[in-house]
Amino acid sequence: MEYAIALVVLAAVVLVIVVRPLLGSAGEADRTAELRAELEAAKEAKYREIRDAELDFRTGKLSQEDFRRTDRELRTQAIEILRRLDELD
């Protein structure tokens, strides 16, 4: 009996928590916020890659030529991310 009561109570609590999001719908604002968060994360990752490449160059792990090429590629990608972020504003 104790098992049945506990089962029903716990299941009801879980049900309320998990079903609630299904009763509403994700608005356009939510989707924009998610996309912005994704682009912000990509931007941070790209900035980190730019810093890493510079440190690698200065500690001798990238040649001048490779650094220039890598740096240019990374900055182009960063610019693209910034452009997409601007489009969201």
Partner 1 sequence: MAAVGSAALSVALLTALYAVGAGVRAGVSRSRPAATSARRAIYCLAALMVLALVILEAAYLRTDLSFALVAQNSSIQTPTFYKVTAMWSSQAGSLMLWVLLLSLFSSAVLYSTRASLREVTPYATAVLGAVAAFFLSLMVLSPEAQPFATLVNPPIDGQGLNPLLRHPAMMFHPPMLYTGYVGFTIPFAFAIGALITRRTGAEWIRATRRFALIAWTFLGFGILLGALWSYSELGWGGYWAWDPVENASLMPWLTGTAFLHSIMIQERRGMLKVWNVSLIVATFVLALLGTFLVRSGILNSIHAFGESTLGAPFLGFIAFVLIGSVALVLSRRESLRSKASFDSLASREAIFLLNNLVLVSLCVVIFYGTFFPLISSALTGAEASVGPPWFNAFVAPLAIVLVLLAGIGPVIAWRRATPANLRRSFRIPAVAMAVTFVVLVMLTPAASSPTSLIVFSFIAFTIVVALQEVWRGVGARRVMAKESWPVALSGLISHNRHRYGGYVVHVGIATLMLGVAGSSAFVGQRDARLSPGESISVDGYTVTYREPTAELLADRSGTGAPVTLGAVLDVNRAGRTFTLHPSRNYYPSGDPAAGAIGRFFDGEATSEVDLRWGLARDLWTAVQPDLQALRPSIDEADRRFVDASAPIQAAILREIVESYRSEPPPATFRVIVSPLAAWIWLGGAIVMAGALIALWPAAGARRRLSSVEAARLGRELSRA
Give the DSSP letter of residue 24: S
**CB of 77: closest distance to partner 1 in angstroms?**
11
Binding mask 18-37 for partner 1 (x = CB under 8 A): xxxxx-xxx---xx-xx--x
Are 70 and 52 spatial neighbours (Cβ–Cβ below 8 Å)?
Answer: no
Q: At what angle do helices 28-58 and 64-88 cross, to 10 degrees?
A: 160
Residues of the shown chain interacting with partner 1 in the complex, contacts defined by CB under 8 A = 2-4, 6-7, 10-11, 13-14, 17-22, 24-26, 30-31, 33-34, 37-38, 40-42, 44-45, 47, 49-52, 54-56, 58-63, 66, 70, 75-76, 78-79, 82
